[in-house]
Structure 1
Amino acid sequence: MLRVAATGLLAAAGAGCDASAPRPHPTPSTTDPGRFRIHGQGALKGNDGWQLSSTGPPDAIEGYADRVSVLPGETFGLHVSTTARAFRVSAFRIGWYGGAQAALVWASHTVPGRRQGPISTSLDTRMIRAGWDPSLEISARGWPEGAYVLRLEADSGYQRYVPLVVRSARARGRTLLMHAPATWQAYNDWGGNCLYYGAGRSYERRAYEVSFERPYAGRGAEKFLAYERAAVVLAERSGIPLAYTTGMDVHRDPGVLAGATTAVALGHDEYWTPEQRQHVTAARDAGTNLLFLGANTCFRRIRLQPGPATAPPAVVCFKTDFSADPYLADHPTMATTDFRSGPGSDPESSLTGVLYEGFPTDAPYVVENPDHWAFRGTGVRRGESFAHLVGVEYDRVTPDSPTPAPIEVVAHSPLVCQGRRSHSDSAYYTAPSGAGVFATGTMRWVEGLMAGTGLDGVDHTMDARTRAFVTQVTENVLTGFAAGPAARHRPAPRGNVPRLYG
């Protein structure tokens, strides 16, 4: 295994920027407009060449890291299989660099390539593991905290990504972005199985357990690119102090939440452990604002199953077959199914304020209260709509479910899902601690940040007007929440649920 250390692609460390006063649009340096200082780090140079040019056949090059996240300075192994003779690796930090949306932080030397295999499948849970040998060990020494894509580059010209989070040990005084690798992995059908289907795309033959010891299918970072990347870029552009983690790390170490101004669940964060949920709830009850930039958040209750010492734990979710999970015999309240289902029913709405209701839908987003502080600067009117912004999954306020009160529905969007008429709601409430909680109620919110740009896949024909609206609202909530518990400096929610759902 080749050991590789970080070398001098980072600029010399500096004192970092003073982001104590949130500002909606930081002004880049006039002497070097491509540089942007990261909290507590030196200046990074933006690089527009981070995107893939060609992925080639599925086996051309693919890989996975043996960690979902590392602290700055830690090492991790990279496992790569390729049909090429050699490959290189480039680490790009996603963010805002005066217009560029990534910075090259590190690059490897040429590494000998080889095709690895075969894969293995567990008979009882249908979990697929690649189990490849490590190709190189990488030190993250000098890498700033943040969200990264490692670009694998075969000498044949084909490329793929491996996602990695360089996490923050603490987030006191900062907005904490919680990435969702458990959800990434739940949908990952590399090798044929995921938590949704198995052979023949059959639900009955789906996996009950999924391993991180395999690449992600497609480009290698699909869920991150579609539902998280644009939110990271916008958060960095806003100039607020940021910290980074994953839901799996919050499960393991809730200390990262202590004193955070805000915790942000990104565009598709469906799979949570009960421990992660308890820790985020406790943070809210201690004054940390919560922002849910998607829908279907905290819907599935999962268990993290330890495996080999060098690998992340696997994600276990039996769903409708939860009674077949042998773990349940000794842990009767730990059914790996929907949080709202028994045993141990605990609908997500008690935390998020909204309840996941359906899939699929495509509908306009309709403003209910244009005077709400989240809509400042947008110029919207009551009833104004934004085509296709609601979808493909949606949430709504459900009065007969556990729902904090008072809660204000700020957007109330009529829709039809599988022949049934309903609504998607953006909603806001405050907790007794003063923490504010804002939920967008649509999974396309982060995709809306890219509407009309052609980046990261499908934009569902949303337009630049929608992108401007979603951008302004997201900035309003991020910068507003960065000032501390929202009840101390933002208007209280106006309970309008009886009028809408009475």
Structure 2
Amino acid sequence: MAFATVTGYCWPQSVVGGGTVSLHLSSAGGREVAVEVARVGRHREVVVSEPAVPAGDHPTPQGADREGCGWPPALTLEVDPSWRSGYYEVRLEIDVDGRRRVGHAFFVVRPRVGQPTAPVLMALTTNTWHAYNDFGGRNLYTGGTSVSLQRPMSPGYLHKPPGAGRRVTTLQVPDPEMAAHRGYLQLNHLSPYAGSAGWPDWELPFLQWAEREGYEVDVVTNADLEDHPQLLAGPGDGGYSLYLSIGHDEYWSGPMRDTVEGFIGRGGHAAFLSGNTSFWQVRLEDPTPEGPAATMVGYKGQLKDDPVYGTDRIGELSAMWSDREVGRPENQMTGVSFVRGGYHRIGKRATRGAGGYTVHRPDHWLFEGTGIGYGDLLGAAGTTVGYECDGCDLTYVDGLPVPTGSDGTPEGFTILGTVPACHFTRDTATRPPPPDQPSEVEFIAARMAGGGRGPEDVARISHGHAVLGTYTSPAGGVVVTSGSTDWVHGLGGRDPEVEQITRNLLDRLGGPPPT
């Protein structure tokens, strides 16, 4: 991280055409910064190039992780109404004694409410990026209970160089100590948490593949689902046909869930090609003059310190959505939960796992054109199942897995494929807990409704699965879930069956472009 000699952040992080974005910079020695802004998808389309932006050398203030950096704006970007919805990379470059130093920032151009430019809306997993971001101090994994959105992203969250070990999922097994991934992060001076969140490893390859295939996708941030719920007002009247979640989508606010569940409840379709999805509830607080909240609150394991604990706002508790105090398991939305899943090909969890699903119901429309049969392995070529996985409580009827419905999974949920996954124990955790704190599997068992840390409670969730499945809401909204963070790694020529299934999904649920 010592090499990040030019860094910055954009505010607001989401804007419509005709709006403005402020770029806040800090440059070593106050050097001028070359700024290039580009929309990134199938192509990298440069929309702004400023060769010499004046910038100060600003210290990172104490408490920046919680309160932000407070750097002054160095450049105000006018967002042309012609710019397409999407992720906009802000590339920062300075010259240090003849050597180039590069940093990155980002913002999103979102569609206007009621004016979609594509049939599909995808929300970047920005809440999860911020939860893992350790710029200027702690994140939600190192004791922090709130994180500021007004600070740069640490190296690795917005840009990664190629190299063995880039994915947090183990590709060359066995590697129980994850030496390849840790070595990659150290070699490239990236945040130790950069394998778990960010743009490069999930949303970027998906959008590159989708646009190459001819699919159009509008893009928003997680926070936009809270700030602008009308974006998903309904599938009719020129609205979106399909909502997309891609990759590692762990942190959701209550209003976010209200927006997406309302969309599904009105007949909108949703595809969660993601894992660990909506596991933790967070709150977005401290609104700024520009509108968006500047702080994300997440007490997690310190939930009893959350100010809403023990109050009439207990439903907003920043704990697991499946926590007995919250009582709104994410299964109700996605069909699956990390509670009944765990890890696959991570450290000492399913270390030699297949990296693909065993198919149980090959006659489903998702598999059309693949030639897949019962018992076949799906997605192993691209290690499509890896990292964090979501499942449901299940049993077997006539040799086929069916959900029990005991954990909130909707009636009619159909299990199409499964892969073994399991939570970290004290002995298998990549970052073992202190002796006075429970292991991950013990914590989850203790916080579930009717749970505890006893052996029988832990045993209930010790043998999970990644579950590929689907259900249909009473209003006709079709929901598909991959039950794994890594579905996207089967795209881009890595696995033809995964590509065909994704086409089937987008063709059937995406619908025609808006008129």
The amino acid across from 1:178 in the alignment is A
1:275/1:416 CA distance change after superposition, 3 Å: closer
Structure 2 counterpart of 1:132, from 58, 66, 71: 71
Task: Give the aligned partner of residue 299 of structure 1.
Answer: 279
1:417/1:316 CA distance change after superposition, 3 Å: closer
The amino acid across from 2:49 in the alignment is A
1:220/1:320 CA distance change after superposition, 3 Å: closer
The amino acid across from 1:152 in the alignment is L
Matches within 5 A, 1:138-287: 138-141=77-80, 142-156=82-96, 157-170=100-113, 174-197=119-142, 206-221=143-158, 223-258=198-233, 259-287=239-267
Residue deviations 1:297-331 (CA, integer Å, cap 9, x gap): 11111111115435742110111222212244462
User: What RMSD in Å do the two structures reach over aligned CA positions?
Assistant: 2.2
TM-score by length of 2: 0.73
**Partner Cα separation in structure 2 for residue 120 and residue 268 of structure 1:** 29
Identity %, equivalent residues:
29
Q: Contact 2:251 / 2:282 at 8 angstroms: preserved in 1? A: yes
The amino acid across from 2:245 in the alignment is A
Shift of 1:106: 1.9
Shift of 1:227: 1.8
Structure 2 counterpart of 1:113, from 44, 55, 59: 55
Mapped pair 1:344 → 2:307: no
Q: Contact 1:323 / 1:335 at 8 angstroms: preserved in 2? A: no
Q: Contact 1:64 / 1:213 at 8 angstroms: preserved in 2? A: yes
Residue deviations 1:139-163 (CA, integer Å, cap 9, x gap): 1113221112111122341212212
Task: Give the aligned partner of residue 19 of structure 1.
Answer: none
Q: Contact 1:66 / 1:312 at 8 angstroms: preserved in 2? A: no
The amino acid across from 2:105 in the alignment is V
1:131 is paired with a residue of what secondary structure?
coil
Residue deviations 1:262-311 (CA, integer Å, cap 9, x gap): 01112111111111101111111111100101111111111111154357
Q: Contact 2:27 / 2:58 at 8 angstroms: preserved in 1? A: yes
1:226 is paired with a residue of what secondary structure?
coil
**Partner Cα separation in structure 1 for residue 71 and residue 500 of structure 2:** 45
Residue deviations 1:48-78 (CA, integer Å, cap 9, x gap): xxxxxxxx84331111011121101211111
Task: Give the aligned partner of residue 343 of structure 2.
Answer: 360
Residue deviations 1:362-383 (CA, integer Å, cap 9, x gap): 2321222223222223232322
**Partner Cα separation in structure 2 for residue 232 and residue 210 of structure 1:** 27
1:91/1:190 CA distance change after superposition, 3 Å: same
In the alignment, structure 1 segments of 5+ residues that lack a partner are 1-55, 198-205, 451-463, 485-502
Shift of 1:241: 4.2
Mapped pair 1:422 → 2:464: yes
Q: Which piece of structure 1 moves more, 373-382 or 186-195?
A: 373-382
Q: Contact 1:262 / 1:288 at 8 angstroms: preserved in 2? A: yes
1:108 is paired with a residue of what secondary structure?
strand
Q: Contact 1:288 / 1:435 at 8 angstroms: preserved in 2? A: yes
**Partner Cα separation in structure 1 for residue 67 and residue 110 of structure 2:** 27
1:302 is paired with a residue of what secondary structure?
strand
Mapped pair 1:72 → 2:17: yes
Task: Give the aligned partner of residue 18 of structure 1.
Answer: none
Residue deviations 1:349-371 (CA, integer Å, cap 9, x gap): 01101111344322321222223
Task: Give the aligned partner of residue 95 of structure 1.
Answer: 41
Shift of 1:128: 5.0
2:199 is paired with a residue of what secondary structure?
helix
Q: Contact 2:93 / 2:102 at 8 angstroms: preserved in 1? A: yes
Structure 2 counterpart of 1:326, from 280, 291, 307: 307
1:225 is paired with a residue of what secondary structure?
coil
Task: Give the aligned partner of residue 32 of structure 2.
Answer: 86
Shift of 1:417: 4.7
**Partner Cα separation in structure 1 for residue 125 and residue 422 of structure 2:** 28
**Partner Cα separation in structure 1 for residue 225 and residue 463 of structure 2:** 37
Q: Contact 1:161 / 1:219 at 8 angstroms: preserved in 2? A: no
Task: Give the aligned partner of residue 372 of structure 1.
Answer: 364
Deviating above 6 A after TM superposition, structure 1's stretches of 4 or more consecutive aligned residues are: none
Shift of 1:478: 1.3
The amino acid across from 1:374 in the alignment is L
**Partner Cα separation in structure 1 for residue 424 and residue 318 of structure 2:** 26
1:294 is paired with a residue of what secondary structure?
strand
1:361/1:322 CA distance change after superposition, 3 Å: same
The amino acid across from 1:296 in the alignment is N
**Partner Cα separation in structure 1 for residue 480 and residue 34 of structure 2:** 42
The amino acid across from 2:319 in the alignment is T
**Partner Cα separation in structure 1 for residue 308 and residue 128 of structure 2:** 21
The amino acid across from 2:223 in the alignment is M
Mapped pair 1:477 → 2:477: no
Task: Give the aligned partner of residue 405 of structure 1.
Answer: 411
TM-score by length of 1: 0.75
Residue deviations 1:332-363 (CA, integer Å, cap 9, x gap): 32211111113231000011011113443223
